[in-house]
């Protein structure tokens, strides 16, 4: 076994790898960017080395700097985690040239499976069924469109070097093909440095099922059963579970054999995942699944496999990389119960799932029997626009699927994140959805059930006036307590005691109205003092004094956090109140006319702003151009995803304030329409 490991990754997976490494007695070396200098994974390491600036291209993707750090620290092996360099054969070559073991497959296997077109050809040669499509070298747009027309719509455009949904576009009509092709190519070039694509038939009612494989360097290959990853949004996995609902022994055997055959065909060593698409219209059948790709690394969702097999997959990776044999054969493996994983992201489902950044003021993650949490962030830290927006993976294990889902729903209900918006409430509704629990789902499930899942289009009004009222009530109580803020007019002179009795009992009830901002929009908070105590109304939502009483031992104001009897939580963030009520976060502050955004003065509908921190990667219009409502004007990239900026109305472009390559802040004006 090795005595030391350098982890060439960050965040949650770096913490996860370090946990198994320490259990094996390995010295742990972390590499980090300047932005991650104070991150938990850095503090947990025995040694940490800064390898560059915040941009991944100048740090976590710099092979030369990582190899130099490994040599400097004396690391015997490098674990790449997932993402970044984990599937780069040139990184595997660099490790070999430096005499450092890579905890992963050989470069030859990465090359064989790294390009989707070549991987499909190899799988087909090994007898593994593949989806009909064009996987050739001709990248002429007109030719690719001809191929798509011949295949028949809907089709999928996929980046040849892609993964994680990057560079992937579904096209339902011929007239949309060329625009989708351009977008997929741009994202493929940005994410993988390779704009090439392939075109495949889109399988109706698709189920995304993958097989975990493990192989050693002595010729032994097994599969560790399947995971169902069908609950996706924009081809990004949201919920993963093992085993797959509705899986038959016949289909498990067929898929397992196909995955093992594919791994053997490339001389695979280590942990890998063979991904299949299955037609689920008539249930899972052995004659209706096709090879999609092989991920030559550990997967984000590996904890559900660990839960049902009782294995530590990272430990097994280390043992195999050190030359060991698999400690079992296929017949030794058994499935124990059911496991489900939810990905907790810093994103806002009520604003079109836009990524959310900023300081984490509160982070309460669940605990309990059958619940596991893998995270790489903490309260006081920050979610930045430089990296993936994952906050944590929440995994539940139980004797049955229903028990595992119940545990996961409870865990998500106990999850509290304040600062960046998070998708915990959305995940809870998803786990509780009747059709999903009944096994009636495919990869289009989330898109087909947006309204029931509480997802609103970007720009929709806040659906949580009650949360805004709770926030305004807490603000009123705090400002009433005295100090400079009370001079802003929130203090209630009728609430003072006279002869041991509240003044309103002698002088009558009183109502005051104060201007606030709720999620950045001006609103009126009506604060009433009377026989029933304090009550606050904001835009039709109401909160009474009973709602504003602390519900636990932390007290009314411990570390700036208040927990309420109705389940809401309020967090003080400087002069603001962040209130989470029924999964919705609302930010409330006293209105300050000196902080008014001047771009909102006049015709606010003529300002096109960036919805998040990110980089402008395309500007599609020039001043003087006439545009129609909904027309794409620019594209901003944040957290590895593209987000189009569209015209809020028809008009003429008056000004373009941002250029390609420019970093922009959330709320920054990018394009102005003439009034």
pLDDT digits (tens, 9 = 90+) for 514-530: 788 877 777 888 877 66
Question: Which letter, b or e, does each residue of 373-396 get, where b requires 16 or more Cβ atoms within 10 Å of its Cβ?
Answer: bbbbbebebebbbbbbbbbbbbbb
Q: Spell out the CATH class of 205-336.
A: alpha beta
Tell me the two tokens of residue 347.
């994103």
Residue 500 pLDDT level (bands cut at 50, 70, 90):
very low
> What pLDDT, on a 0 to 100 scale, did the predictor assign at position 519?
77
C-alpha–C-alpha distance, residues 21 and 312, integer Å: 11
Among 289, 222, 274, 317, which Cα is nearest to 113's? Answer: 274
Question: Given this model, what pLDDT does residue 497 score?
Answer: 39
The CATH code of the domain at 343-450 is 3.30.470.20
Most confident of 407-416, 504-513, 543-552: 407-416
Q: What is the pLDDT of residue 371?
A: 98
> pLDDT tens digits, residue range 356-411?
888 899 999 999 999 999 999 999 998 888 888 899 999 999 999 999 999 999 99
Q: Which residue has the higher pLDDT, 473 or 268?
A: 268
- Give the angle 602-608-609 at the CA atoms, nearest 5°: 105
Question: In the predicted model, what is the mean pLDDT of residues 114-119?
Answer: 77
Predicted TM-score of the model (pTM): 0.80
Look over the chain and give the mean of its residue pLDDT values, rounded to a whole number: 85
pLDDT at residue 554 tops 50: no
* Token pair belonging to 368: 């309990």
The strand order across the sheet containing 27-33 reads: 47-52, 27-33, 4-7, 77-79, 101-102
Q: Which residue would you say has higher pLDDT here, 510 or 461? A: 510
Topology alike, domains 132-201 and 205-336:
no
If you count them, how many residues does the chain have?
675
Looking up tokens 């309020």 gives 570
What DSSP designation does 537 have? E
User: pLDDT band at residue 46, thresholds of 50, 70 and 90?
Assistant: very high
Bigger pLDDT: 586 vs 175: 175
Half-sphere exposure of 49 toward its Cβ, with a 13 Å CA cutoff? 22
Alpha helix ranges (H) inside 433-486: 434-437, 445-448, 465-480
* Cα-based angle 295, 133, 111 (whole degrees, multiple of 5): 30
Q: What is the CATH number of domain 4-103?
A: 3.40.50.20
For residue 630, what pLDDT is reported? 84
| Exposed / middle / buried, residue 334 (Cβ in 10 Å: 0-12, 13-18, 19+) | exposed
CATH of domain 597-673: 2.40.50.100
Return d(Cα 561, Cα 553) in angstroms, integer: 11
Locate the domains of the chain by residue range.
Answer: 4-103, 132-201, 205-336, 343-450, 465-594, 597-673
pLDDT, greater one: 565 or 39: 39
The string over 80-113, giving b where at least 16 C-beta atoms fall within 10 Å of a residue's C-beta and e elsewhere, is: bbbbbbbbbbebbbbbeeeebbbbbbbbebbbbb
Question: 388-397 pLDDT, tens per residue?
Answer: 889 999 999 9
For residue range 627-657, list pLDDT tens digits in order.
998 888 998 887 666 778 888 889 999 899 9
CATH of 132-201, one of 3.30.1490.20, 3.10.20.600, 1.20.1630.10, 3.30.2010.10: 3.30.1490.20
**Mean pLDDT across 100-125:** 88
More confident residue, 260 or 353: 260
pLDDT at position 566 is: 65
Has 297 been annotated as catalytic? yes
Set 227, 297, 421, 429: catalytic member: 297
């Amino acid at each position: 076994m090795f005595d030391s490991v350098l982890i060439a990754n960050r965040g949650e997976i770096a913490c996860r790898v370090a946990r198994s490494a320490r259990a094996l007695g390995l010295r742990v070396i972390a590499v980090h960017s300047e932005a991650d200098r104070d991150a938990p994974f850095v503090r947990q390491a025995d040694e940490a080395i800064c390898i560059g600036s915040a941009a991944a291209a100048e740090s976590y993707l710099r092979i030369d700097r990582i190899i130099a750090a490994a040599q400097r620290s004396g690391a015997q092996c490098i674990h790449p985690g997932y993402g970044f360099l984990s599937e780069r054969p040139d990184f595997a070559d660099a490790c070999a040239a430096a005499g450092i073991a890579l905890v992963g497959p050989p470069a030859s296997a990465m090359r064989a499976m790294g390009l989707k077109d070549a991987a499909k050809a190899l799988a087909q040669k090994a007898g593994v069924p593949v989806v009909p499509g064009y996987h050739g070298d001709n990248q002429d747009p007109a030719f690719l469109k001809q191929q798509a027309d011949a295949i028949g719509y809907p089709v999928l455009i996929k980046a040849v070097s892609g993964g994680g949904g990057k560079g992937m576009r579904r096209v339902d009509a011929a007239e949309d093909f060329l625009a989708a092709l351009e977008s997929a190519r741009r994202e493929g070039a940005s994410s993988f440095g390779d704009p090439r694509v392939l075109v495949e038939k889109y399988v109706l009612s698709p189920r995304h099922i993958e097989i975990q494989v493990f192989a050693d360097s002595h010729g032994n290959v097994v599969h560790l059963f399947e995971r169902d990853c069908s609950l996706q949004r924009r081809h990004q996995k949201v919920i993963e579970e093992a085993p797959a609902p509705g899986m038959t022994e016949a289909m498990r055997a067929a898929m397992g054999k196909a995955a093992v055959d594919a791994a053997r065909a490339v001389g695979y060593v280590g942990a890998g995942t063979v991904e299949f698409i299955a037609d689920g219209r008539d249930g899972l059948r052995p004659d209706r699944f096709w090879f999609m790709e092989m991920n030559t690394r550990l997967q984000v969702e590996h904890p559900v496999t660990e839960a049902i097999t009782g294995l530590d997959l990272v430990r097994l990776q280390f043992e195999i990389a050190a030359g060991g044999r698999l400690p079992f054969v296929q017949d030794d493996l058994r499935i124990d119960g059911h496991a489900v994983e939810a990905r907790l992201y810093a994103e806002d489902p009520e604003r079109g799932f836009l990524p959310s950044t900023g300081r984490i003021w509160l982070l309460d993650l669940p605990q309990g029997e059958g619940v596991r949490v893998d995270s790489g962030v903490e309260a006081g830290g920050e979610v930045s626009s430089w990296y993936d927006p994952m906050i944590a993976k929440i995994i539940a294990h139980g004797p049955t699927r229903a028990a595992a889902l119940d545990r996961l729903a409870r865990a998500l209900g106990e999850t509290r994140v304040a600062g960046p918006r998070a998708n915990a409430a959305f995940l809870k509704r998803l786990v509780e959805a009747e059709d999903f629990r009944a096994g009636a789902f495919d990869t289009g499930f989330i898109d087909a059930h947006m309204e029931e899942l509480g997802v609103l289009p970007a720009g929709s009004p806040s659906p949580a006036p009650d949360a805004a009222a709770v926030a305004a009530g807490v603000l009123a109580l705090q400002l009433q307590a005295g100090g400079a803020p009370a001079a802003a007019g929130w203090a209630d002179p009728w609430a003072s005691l006279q002869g041991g009795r509240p003044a309103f009992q002698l002088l009558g009830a009183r109502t005051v109205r104060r201007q606030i901002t709720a999620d950045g929009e001006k609103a009126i908070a009506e604060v009433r003092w009377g026989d029933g105590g304090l009550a606050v109304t904001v835009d039709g939502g109401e909160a009474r004094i009973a709602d504003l009483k602390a519900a636990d031992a932390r007290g009314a104001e411990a570390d700036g956090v208040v927990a309420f009897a109705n389940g809401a939580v309020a967090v003080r963030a400087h002069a603001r109140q962040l209130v989470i009520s029924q999964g919705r976060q609302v930010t409330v502050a006293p209105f300050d006319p000196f902080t008014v955004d001047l771009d909102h003065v006049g015709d606010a509908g003529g300002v096109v702003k960036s919805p998040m921190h990110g980089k402008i990667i395309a500007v599609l219009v020039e001043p003087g151009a006439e545009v129609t409502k909904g027309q794409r004007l620019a594209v901003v990239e944040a957290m590895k995803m593209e987000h189009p900026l569209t015209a809020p109305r028809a008009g003429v472009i008056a000004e373009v304030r941002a250029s390609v390559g420019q970093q922009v802040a959330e709320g920054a004006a990018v394009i102005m329409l003439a009034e």
